[in-house]
């Protein structure tokens, strides 16, 4: 088997995917210049996938758990219809100014309702019948998020969960690493859940695509 440099592979993927628009490029640079752990931003390839999935699925109501600086939110907003809406929950208030600044620059602020707070407290208060949910928040809470939202997703709706490979740590989990253990538990729970069907994609740090039956 040929050994592939992951950095060169990512560069190749970006070079052969439709480029993000100027606002997303500016946000991506801003995130890398001013935020800790800038890799938490979805980035050009995953962002384009989210946009295209929204264009294919045409969800009317989307839930995002974990906004960070808003890159993925904007990508999804660019893919949904004019009357569709996104509810995006972010726990860290320090990101709010950046998020709102770029939502406005991208002209998607009317499509996205940003809620600052703990998703575990907020999700039970939200309406049912989400068409699409994107989970990209604290990893230790993935099993909790999943169980909280799966009943709020309509039949035929989708859930996406990011970082489910966790840099490959899920292959040889360290029992002392709580995030890794939580992701292992999440992956196993989803795979064994008779309410859904799923596929784990090796895009970036792993993306779990789940369809509710």
pLDDT in tens, 75-131: 999 999 999 999 999 999 999 999 999 999 999 999 999 999 999 999 999 988 999
What residues have CB less than 8 Å from 44, skipping those under 6 apart? 14, 17, 19, 20, 24, 28
Mean per-residue pLDDT for 5-28?
A: 95
Where are the chain's structural domains?
6-212
Other beta carbons less than 10 A from residue 105's beta carbon? 16
pLDDT beyond 80 at 37? yes
Instruction: Enter the pTM of the model.
Output: 0.96
pLDDT band at 2 (very low <50, low <70, confident <90, very high): confident
pLDDT band at 194 (very low <50, low <70, confident <90, very high): very high
Identify the CA nearest to 60 among candidates 100, 87, 89: 87
R_g of the chain computed on alpha carbons: 17
CA distances from 14 to 44, 48, 165 (A): 7, 10, 20
pLDDT beyond 80 at 146? yes
- The CATH classification number of 6-212 equals 3.40.50.150
What one-character DSSP code corresponds to residue 104?
Answer: H
């Amino acid at each position: 088997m040929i050994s592939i440099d992951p950095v060169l592979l990512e560069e190749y993927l970006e070079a052969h995917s439709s480029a993000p628009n100027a606002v997303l490029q500016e946000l991506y640079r801003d995130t890398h210049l001013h935020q800790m752990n800038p890799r938490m931003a979805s980035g050009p390839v995953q962002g384009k996938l989210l946009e295209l999935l929204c264009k294919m699925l045409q969800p009317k109501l989307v839930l995002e758990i974990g906004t960070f600086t808003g890159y993925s939110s904007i990508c999804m907003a660019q893919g949904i219809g004019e009357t569709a809406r996104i509810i995006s929950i972010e726990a860290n208030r320090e990101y709010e100014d950046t998020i709102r600044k770029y939502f406005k620059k991208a002209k998607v602020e009317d499509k996205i309702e940003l809620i600052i707070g703990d998703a575990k407290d907020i999700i039970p208060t939200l309406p049912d019948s989400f068409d699409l949910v994107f989970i990209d928040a604290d990893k230790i809470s993935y099993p909790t998020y999943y169980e909280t939202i799966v009943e709020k997703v309509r039949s035929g709706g989708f859930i996406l969960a990011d970082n489910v490979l966790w840099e490959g740590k899920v292959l040889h989990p360290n029992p002392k690493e709580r995030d890794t253990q939580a992701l292992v538990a999440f992956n196993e729970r989803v795979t064994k859940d008779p309410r859904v069907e799923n596929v784990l994609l090796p895009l970036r740090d792993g993306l779990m695509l789940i369809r509710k039956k």
